[in-house]
Structures are given as C-alpha cells and as structure tokens.
Amino acid sequence: MFKPHHNHAKCTAKLISRAEEACEQRGSRLTDQRKDVLASIAESHVAVGAYEIIERMAARGPRPAPITVYRVLDFLLEHNLVHKIESRNAFVACACVHDNATPTLLICESCGVVDEIMQPLANENLQNAASANGFKINRTVIELSGTCQACANV
Amino acid sequence: MFKPHHNHAKCTAKLISRAEEACEQRGSRLTDQRKDVLASIAESHVAVGAYEIIERMAARGPRPAPITVYRVLDFLLEHNLVHKIESRNAFVACACVHDNATPTLLICESCGVVDEIMQPLANENLQNAASANGFKINRTVIELSGTCQACANV
DNA sequence: CCATTTATGTTATAATATAACGCTCATGTT
DNA sequence: AACATGAGCGTTATATTATAACATAAATGG
C-alpha cells in the first residue's frame, strides 16, 4: 500500500530530536514512554488510530493500556508534536515546523498518507472572516481529504 | 446557557421546507423519521451528538436504536442537510445555502452554538495549495473553535 | 529530607459508531 | 393483479474510540 519515497529512518530520527529540543525548551520531559508512542506514530506518514498505536507498542514490549496511550497523546498534542486528524480519529507525527500557525492537512483517502502544508493566506482569510463575525478563534482545523499525487499516478 | 436571539420556530420551519425541496429535487424521500431527526437536530444551533438526538426523539416517541439515527444522519449528510462537526463528533442542521462550496464552521466553546459562514477566498487558497501539491480534494473540513460574539460580551 | 507535582499503573466504564440479517412497503413492470 | 426490485426500517449484537477514578512511583524544588 504505502511505499516511502524517502529514507524514513532519517526522517524519524530528525523528528525525535526535534521533539527533544521542543520539550527541553518548554521544560517538559520527553520520557521513554512518550518517545515510544511518538516513534510508533512516526513509523510512517499514515494516520494511525490510538488502538493501532497500542498494537505497535505491544509488538515491541508490554501492551500499554488505552488510557496510557491517550495520556501520552494529550501530551504530544499539547506540545504540537503530533496532530489529530479529526475527520478520522487518528494521529500523525508533526512533519514540519510551524510556530503558532495552523497547518493544512492533506489526507490521502487511498494510501492514508497525511501531508502538512502551511497556508498563511488561508489562515489570514479565516482570521479576518472570524473577526468580521465577532468570533475569537482558539483552535483551527483544516483537513482536506482526497487523492495524493502518488496515488493519482497509479 | 443558550438563548436564541431569533424566532427559532420560524427558523426550523424554513429549514424543514428547504430540506423537502432539496429531497424532491434529488428524487429522494424525506420520510417522517428523517424529518424527526432533522427537527431534533434543529432544535437549536448547538451541535448535538447522535445519542443526544436519540434522547430528544425518545422524549417525543419510541426510542430509536443508535443505528437508526446514524442511518438517518448518513442520509442527511449526503444531502447536505446537516453537517458533522468532526472535532466534536456532533451534528448541526445546515443553516445556509451553499451550492458546492464548503462552509467554514464557527464553533463556540462556551455556548456550543455553531455558525456557518461562506469563505470563498479561503476555499480558493486551499484549492490552489492542494493543486500545487498535486493533491485532488474530495472533501474539505474547516472548523474554527473559539468564542462567539454573544459569549464574548458576557 | 520532605513536600509537591508530574508521571505512570490498574481497573472499570463511557461514548461513539457499525455489522449482519430480515422484514415491510413503495414503485415500476409485465 | 402478480411479481420483482430496491429503499427504508427494525432488531440484536458488537466494534471502535475515549475517559473516570483511584492508587503508586518517580522527579523536582525547597
């Protein structure tokens, strides 16, 4: 189904080291468990459900309880190290650097790969529209489902 | 919590009659059950969960099974008569006319009211960005959570 | 070393959503 | 009318996603 078009080991390593940095900066601890969960999610760029994370972890060690994984997910979400795909109840490791801006998620319905792109113009439009309606944005979700380039070319 | 700032009965009536039209145009049937579910959702502009819909219906007649409500929801979603708030697993009746464009949902975290606005510019930006990445959009989700004007003024 | 917070473990359960199967009823056809 | 078809719905069971409540351990700051 999914074939990485890049050196994924390198990709994961980079992600973990960025996560370590981010936690250090914020004075929070990236514990082994948290690193494990993050690594499980980062196994691919495909969105993964919480219970699939449990399976992946069970394959390499003791099976964590759901609450354990959800607790870690909360931590990782707060630290912007993973994103929740709301339209799928699934998670992906954050693939790009975005300070406070909201990424647009491109979700392939065929292979499941989730790509992140920064779209400052769209964010600005939405911010303006919200303001015009007297609405104060706390959180923005932009998810586009469809067909990725790789799958379109098959 | 929520106090309508308008004549809601009128609002619902309009919604139902629009739904009837839409179904007629598409040659599908807006059965009593479907009308009931739609009316339950449209009781307010607050997003409502599937099981809360069941409660509302149970208050006025026999309690429907979850699958029943979900089936109706599928129908209503397909016909664009309701929207699913993905970030909340909840539903609202479609409040405005939008041909094929995607509405932006403004979700108040305080009162739960969901407002719909059309944001052609943002849609266009996202479409362009997707195209630039070779991504073909099938479905777009834009959800802004925050504080609505009414709640900000309290 | 103690107090406090943060992290984790354990058990149970809540909330959301779908599968599978069969019956009924409207509709169109012969 | 008799029949075939498919849409709508009923019923039972179960899958999937997420959280509550309470106990223990481990890190951190004074």
For chain A, what is the mean pLDDT?
Answer: 94
pLDDT 10s digits, B6-53: 888 888 999 999 999 999 989 999 999 999 999 999 999 999 999 999
Q: Which nucleotides of C are covered by protein (CB under 7 A)?
A: 6-13, 15-20
Question: So what's the architecture of A8-152 in CATH?
Answer: Orthogonal Bundle (1.10)
Taken in order B9, B61, B37, B92, is the CA torsion positive or negative?
A: positive
Find the distance separating the first CA and the last CA of chain B, reported in whole Å.
Answer: 11
Domain ranges of chain A: 8-152
A118: Cβ contacts below 8 Å, ≥ 6 apart: A96, A98, A101, A103, A104
Confidence band, pLDDT 50/70/90 cuts, at residue A140: very high
d(CA B39, CA A133): 26
Q: What is the pLDDT of residue B3?
A: 53
Asked if the Cβ–Cβ distance from A135 to B149 is below 8 Å, we say: yes
Report the residue of A84, A106, A142, A144 to disrupt the B interface, i.e. the one with the largest count of B CBs within 10 Å.
Answer: A144
d(CA B16, CA B41): 11
Under CATH, to which class is B8-93 assigned? Answer: mainly alpha
pLDDT 10s digits, A55-83: 999 999 999 999 999 999 999 999 999 99
Q: CATH assignment of B103-152?
A: 3.30.1490.190
Whether pLDDT at A95 is above 90:
no
Confidence band, pLDDT 50/70/90 cuts, at residue B4: low
Phi and psi angles of residue A116, each rounded to the nearest 5 degrees, phi first: -115, 130
Calculate the angstrom distance between C1' of C26 and CA of A128: 50
Strand C interface, protein residues by Cβ within 7 Å: A 28-29, 31-34, 64-68, 71-72, 75; B 49-52, 65-67, 70, 89-90
Exposed/middle/buried for residue A10 (C-beta within 10 Å: 0-12, 13-18, 19+): exposed
Q: What is the pLDDT of residue A6?
A: 84
